[in-house]
Chain A
């Protein structure tokens, strides 16, 4: 069993898509935002975040661009693509179903 705060990979994708749907963001900021928005419950480490970002990029769901960040240094910003937007809708709907299904099982057992 993994640590409770770790996120399974599939859900990390969903969280990333959701976060950058609001505005383009670099990796570190995405991790921070996930932590803040989940009221410190969810923590995404580098180990899960960057492979997930690169995979999403390879999928064509997000695009990256180097730009100056808030502290004046170059950082890689990720933006949602049109395909990414569609994927986000699907993944979100699927998550709804999945969590409903899991809670069904959890409650009945």
Chain B
């Protein structure tokens, strides 16, 4: 009611200016006339009265001006004076405001930088047409503990044909490709169904993409190049179209070049080939679950509906095909399927950096508050003289907005640099991190954050100042001898909040530090020192899978020649690279004595083909029996080695040595599945047990693994030898120095054979922790910043309160208090703040660190030691920050102070 009336009045004075002016004139003239009348009545002559009136009229214009001020346009004037006032303040206290602006800039800059990562990695849609409709389609085998895997081609084709949810579904898988035109090089390629580009809405910059007929085996020798590869190999010449390149020793025709921003499915993809399988290729059959799929939802179909649709198709496939027993399928948003893993990390970092900003705001609010209380008497007098609360508030806010603006500008400049740092230190595991930057949405965020900070740090002092009654303020702010208790308490509260928030960050950083420490002290199961590793992928064209002898011979020859190099202690090769999760695959596992009768009951084991000296090169312990020797070749009985996990799971109470096992389902199941009664899978005799090796990372437990001798993969009916092998070369010192020799030896066997992934095992271990190190680096930096800010905050509040209490301290000392009493008094004040802060922070941390659980390893989110250590560290900082002000207090000279007052 009242507000609408006020609004009406304001609008009236803005828009019906003439009417209002006229009424004002009339009102003032009425007053003047009454004045003249009164003076005549009082006995003045009309002449005198007229003179007096004329004098008064001269004032009328001034009066009108005064009234106009009140009408509302006055705020423009006020704003000007507020700005003038604020600038005068800034000028007077240059260093104080400079520090405040820098503190704000740190907070805003760090927030902007982290948000740019959150935005660029998690939020920004992919540059594909209507990318929010894109979904990943994947398969799973929950009973085997596999929540997510690729699908088999026939299953994907069935889903594509039967679903009612998708406009289109495209299949793809990545593969290493040996590019042998010119210098042999291994590049990452993508085999994709012809509709992929159309589904994404991506068009080539040059030439064309695949046609469906090019999926037919034999007509599939065409390739689409990435912009990067085109520039590297063809110097960006349009004439590249139609040229021949040699991929995996086969000639392919270049038909198109994609634009520079096309990076499907990741920036590593250098070329795209049609997905095409030979008619008898077993890879295209059920059970070979390695193909990824992307689909475009129809309009109006939700992800949940699509998921239900795909699930029911998977259930039907389970009934129709016995190989599909236990195989489910799922659908998830394409963006989140790409970035889902790193979401918690980035969001937790965003939360942490938000806390830093809060602390920064508190840090700026506190001295502003002190400053404002210093001007309390001025404010009280002005309030008594009629300045409204709103007017005072606005003046303080103007100051805040200017300060916030300065902080925002500095902060954005800082964030540009911070983003560069994040790009450099960010692990490769975070997708899209290299494309982050300060763009409009990020700028918008920075501005919003700055505005919020202004509200936090600017409004708090203003509220506390204007809340008090004028009389009280006059009383308090007069010749008061002690600090105004209300604002003093408020300031103390802010410091407690600051300490509490810092503690939360310190505890978080402590937990991450422990995580990294524990991971670094977790045994990977091998000795990484002095081991050089690399990968060699033999092309199918030259080393076909149905001629396994060729492949095995290549690697046998390679390892033999490498062993002869001076300084080499051991050389081996495996289909899997420990710690990285690269290579290796799962297979069914059957112990001859206890075959499972149903396919869904057959366990899965990690299957590795390895060369002799594997345990020697990697320093893996042999727990029982023996490891493979060069004699375990195709002419000798098939042998196998298992790891400790497999022994625990499959032979918990018996000696596994001598047991016969096979990496397949049992014969009876195979017979049914393959319609081949009397089928007999090859049996492997277990000859040894070796220690567990971490395959997927230090934080992931080792999984049961079965090792077979690579030299025996030539035996009929065994799994064909892997054509991509990881080499392990154990040397006496300087492993990287052997990379060139190794490359030369590879090419002495086959001049067109590239090597790739050259790195030492130590480097791989370090890289495997890059995510944890990245988290800790950023979180630690935030915690350190928070700690410094908290120290500055405590120091500021205590020295201010000492300054305010000089008079009181002087009296105490005059009455006999010693310097150490005074010292104690101030330090106790600091400690009290610290303890309250630690209590508040611990409670807060208990609630907050739980969110970090997914990032932790070997330490609980409520780890008492971390909480205690962080609290102690914080209290030490509190003590240090309290010491200087207390010293100053203790040095007070009673007489000087009292005389000064």
Contact = CB atoms under 8 A, between A and B. Distances in A.
Interface of A: 8-10, 12-13, 26-28, 31, 46-47, 50-51, 54-55, 57-60, 63, 66, 69, 71, 73-76, 81-83, 94, 97-98, 100-102, 105
A71 to B, nearest CB: 8
Contacts of B60: 46
B740 interface: no
Given A8-B386, A9-B385, A57-B9, A51 B56 contact: no
Contacts of B478: 105
B3 interface: yes
Contact of A83 (B2, B9, B24): B2
A50 B63 contact: yes
A46 to B, nearest CB: 5
Contacts of B63: 46-47, 50-51
A56 to B, nearest CB: 9
Main secondary structure of the interface of B (DSSP, over half): helix
Contact of B31 (A27, A55, A59, A82): A27
B430 to A, nearest CB: 56
B557 to A, nearest CB: 97
A101 to B, nearest CB: 5
B35 A47 contact: no
- Which of A81, A100, A101 counts the most B-chain CB atoms under 10 A from its CB? A101
A54 B21 CA distance: 12
A59 B469 contact: no
B828 interface: no
B67 A51 contact: yes
Contacts of A105: 478
Interface stretch (B68-76, B206-214, B289-297, B335-343): B68-76
Which A-B residue pairs are the 6 nearest by beta carbons?
A: A9-B386, A97-B471, A10-B386, A54-B70, A51-B66, A60-B2
Interface residues of B, number: 39
Contacts of A58: 6, 9-10, 70-72
B654 interface: no
B66 A47 contact: yes
A44 to B, nearest CB: 11
With most chain A CB atoms within 10 A of its CB, the pick from B31, B56, B60, B385 is: B31
A58 B72 CA distance: 8
A71 B24 CA distance: 19
7 contacts: A26-B30, A47-B66, A50-B31, A54-B70, A54-B71, A76-B26, A105-B478
B63 to A, nearest CB: 5
A75 B27 contact: yes
A98 B470 contact: yes
A9 B6 CA distance: 21
A28 B386 contact: no
Nearest to A8: B385
Contacts of A26: 27, 30
Contact of A101 (B26, B28, B30, B475): B475
Contacts of A47: 59, 62-63, 66
A79 to B, nearest CB: 12
B474 interface: yes
A74 B23 CA distance: 11
B34 interface: yes
Given A57-B9, A98-B470, A50 B72 contact: no
B27 A76 contact: yes
B471 A10 contact: no
B34 A28 contact: yes
B5 interface: yes
A106 B72 CA distance: 38
A46 B70 contact: no
A98 B5 contact: no
Interface string B16-59: 00000001101110110111010000000000000000001001
Contacts of B27: 26-27, 50, 75-76
Contacts of A102: 474
A100 B474 CA distance: 11
B474 A98 contact: yes
Nearest to A96: B471
A26 B26 CA distance: 12
Contacts of B475: 101
A75 B386 contact: no
Nearest to A104: B475
A97 to B, nearest CB: 3
Given A51-B67, A54-B70, 4 more contacts: A50-B67, A51-B69, A66-B23, A101-B475
A46 B384 contact: no
B70 A75 contact: no
A97 B67 CA distance: 30
